[in-house]
Structure 1
Amino acid sequence: MSIVQIMQHYHHRLGISYLTAGESGPAIVFLHGWGAFKELWWSALRDLGRDYRCFAIDMPGHGESRIGRADQIERIAVLIADFCHDLGLSTIILVGHSMGGSVAVEMTLHYPHLVQRLALIDAAVDAYRMPAYTRIYLLPHLGWPTFRLTQAIGRAFRPLGQRIPHEHGGGWIRPWLRRASYLATFDPEGLYRILRSLFATRADERLQQIRVPTLVMTGQFDSLAPPAHARRLAQVIPGARYVMIPVSLHNPMDERPRAFTRALRAFLAETDS
C-alpha cells in the first residue's frame, strides 16, 4: 500500500494555510478547534487520503492563516465557503472539531448546497451550554492573564512539543505537549476575539434545520464539550448518529487516531450506501 503524501499550500487571496492529501474521491474539509492547528488531522489525512480528497485548514488567526476580519464564527464560515469555491469544491464532507464544529454548523445552515455530509467532533456548538469553567479566559480581570499564562506554559514546553512527530500514535501526554507548543505561537488578541464570538454564537433551534447525514462524535472523558453536550446535539439534529470514542479526551483524532478514522469511515460508508 502506497503512502499518502501530505502537501502544504497557501491561498494568498484568502490568507489561508492548508494541507492536502489524496487525489481522487469526494472532498473532505477538516476544521480544527480554537487554539489548535491543521496538523492535528495528520493521521486522518494519511488514512482517508487513500479514498478521499482531503483538505485540512489552519483557521484564521491560527498557524500561518491571517485573521483579517474573520474574527467571528459567521465570518469564518463565509471565509471557508469562499475557500471551497476558489478550489472548485462544489460539494464537501465537512468535519468540524470543537470551535470548528460551530463553524461547520453555520456553514451547513447557510450553504446547504455545499455541505453534503457533516461530522461534529467534540463540537463547541452552543458553547454557552458547556461547563462554566470553559469560559475562564473570558472572565473580567482574570481571563486575559490566565490565557497569557497558558501561552507562557506552552512556550516553556515548546522544545519538547516540537520534537513530537505528527504521527505519534496517540495517547494523552504527547498530544497535549504538541498542542501546547502550537498555542504558544498564536496571536493572543486574535484568539481572544474569536473565543468571545464562539461563546456568543447560538444555533439552538436552528439545529433542527440541518437535513444532511450527520455524525456527532465525542471523547469518553471530554471535560470541555462533555458527552452529555454531544448527546444533546445528536438528539436535536434530525437523524444524527452519536458515537463515543473510548479513552479519549477532547481530541480523539489526536489521542485515538485509529479509533477516530474507523468511526469516521464507518459513517461515510453508511451514508454512501
Structure 2
Amino acid sequence: MTSPVTIERRYHDRLGLSYLTAGASGPAIVFLHGWGAFKELWWSALRDLGRDYRCFAIDMPGHGESRIGRADRIEAIAELVAEFCRDLGLTTITLVGHSMGGSVAVELTLRHPELVQRLALIDAAVDAYRMPAYTRTYLLPNAGWAAFRLSQAVGRAFRPLGQRVPHEHGGGWIRPWLRRASYLATFDPEGLYRILRSLFATRADDRLQQIRTPVLVMTGQFDSLAPPAHARRLAKAIPGAQYVMIPASLHNPMDERPRAFTRALRQFLANAKAQ
C-alpha cells in the first residue's frame, strides 16, 4: 500500500510568502490560485500529484498568510513567484495557474520562458477584460466597493460553517463555496481591490503567440466567470494548446471535481513528457 503524501505548511520569510509543499522527488509543479482564493484550494491535487512530483502551492500576495508588500500588480506577482522559484532552487517547473493565477502564470511564462517547462491554465482570467461584464461588478464606481464588502460580510456570516469543511471534502458545489467564502472574509479588502484592478488592466493579447511551451487550457463546464468560450479563445490564441472541459464543474474544478481535475492534469503532464 502506498503511504499517504504528507502536506507541509511553510513560510518564506524574505519574500513573505506562505506555501504548501508535498512530494519529495520528481519534477516540480508550482500552483497559483485565483483572486480571493487560498493555497489549500489545491489540497487534493497535492495529495495525488505529490506521489510523483515535488509540489508547491503558494498563497498569493495579500491572500492567506502572504503579505502583499508591493506585489499588488500582476507583473509584480509574476516576478515574485519567479524569485520564489530561484530561492528554492527550482530551475524548471510546470506552472499551474487558476483564474487570476492564470494571468500571473502567463505573465511569468512570457518573462521567464526558460523557467516554465509546461503551463496549465485553469479557468484562467487571462485578458480578463474579455470576460463577461458582470465579472467587473466589484470595480463599478461607487457600487463596486460596497458590493465587494457585502461579499466579505456574507463570508463572515458563513465562516463558522466554512471552517468545518475539510480540505479533502470530495468535491461538489456547496461545501467548496462555503469554504471559499469563509476564506475571502479574512483577507485585506484594500489589497485585494488593488490586485483586482490590475487583473482587469493586464492584457496578454498578441503576446500569447510567443508561448512555445506545452500548454493545457482547462475549463469547468458551467463556469460563468471565465466561461468555456473564453477558454476556447485562449486555447486558440496559444500555439499548440490543448483544451479540456471538466464536466459538472463551475469555476474551481480542482475543488469541485478534484478527481477529474487531477486525471486531466496527469494526462497532460504525461503527454507533454512524451513530446
- Measured against the shorter chain, the TM-score band is over 0.9
The 5 Å alignment of 1:223-262 reads 223-262=224-263
Q: Provide the rounded CA distance (Å) in 2 between the counterparts of 1:106 and 1:19.
A: 22
Structure 2 equivalent of residue 184 of structure 1: 185
1:15 aligns with 2:8: no
Q: What one-letter code is carried by the residue in structure 2 that aligns with 1:201?
A: T
Structure 1 position 188, deviation (Å): 0.1
AA of the residue aligned to 2:28: A
**Corresponding residue of 1:66:** 67
Q: Which residue of 2 aligns with 1:272?
A: 273
Whole-angstrom distance in 2 between the partners of 1:67 and 1:11: 13
Percent identical pairs in the alignment equals 85
- Paired residues, number: 273
Q: Distance in 1 between matches of 2:86 and 2:6?
A: 24
> In 1, distance between residues paired with 2:235 and 2:95?
16
Task: Report matched runs for 1:113-192 at 5 Å.
Answer: 113-192=114-193
Report what 1:76 is aligned to.
77
Deviation for aligned residue 1:245: 0.1
Q: In the TM superposition, what whole-angstrom CA distance separates every residue of 1:175-209 from its partner, at most 9, and x where no partner exists?
A: 00000000000000000000000000000000000
The residue type paired with residue 79 of structure 2 is: V
Aligned to 1:27: 28
Question: Any idea what SS the aligned residue of 2:18 has?
Answer: strand
Residue 17 of structure 2 is aligned to residue 6 of structure 1: no
Structure 1 residue ranges, 4+ long, deviating more than 6 angstroms after superposition: none
Aligned to 1:106: 107
User: 1:163-185 CA deviation, whole Å, 9 max, x = no partner?
Assistant: 00000000000000000000000
Q: CA deviation at 1:267?
A: 0.2
| Alpha-carbon distance in structure 2 between the residues aligned to 1:63 and 1:263 | 27
- What is the TM-score of this pair, normalised by structure 1? 1.00
Q: C-alpha distance in 2, partners of 1:141/1:54?
A: 41
The one-letter code matched in structure 2 to 1:12 is D
Residue of structure 2 equivalent to 1:215: 216
Asked if 1:86 corresponds to 2:100, the answer is no
Shift of 1:272: 1.0
Cα distance, 1:254 vs. partner? 0.1
Structure 2 distance, partners of 1:78, 1:189, is 21
Measured in 2, the distance between the counterparts of 1:201 and 1:92 equals 23
SS of equivalent residue, structure 2 residue 154: helix
Q: CA deviation at 1:58?
A: 0.1
Match of 1:39 in 2: 40
The separation in 1 between residues aligned to 2:235 and 2:141, in whole angstroms, is: 33
- Give the CA deviation at 1:125: 0.1
- Give the aligned CA root-mean-square deviation in angstroms: 0.2
CA drift of 1:20 comes to: 0.1
* TM-score calculated relative to the size of structure 2: 0.99
What amino acid maps onto 1:183 in structure 2? L
Gaps of 5+ in 2: none
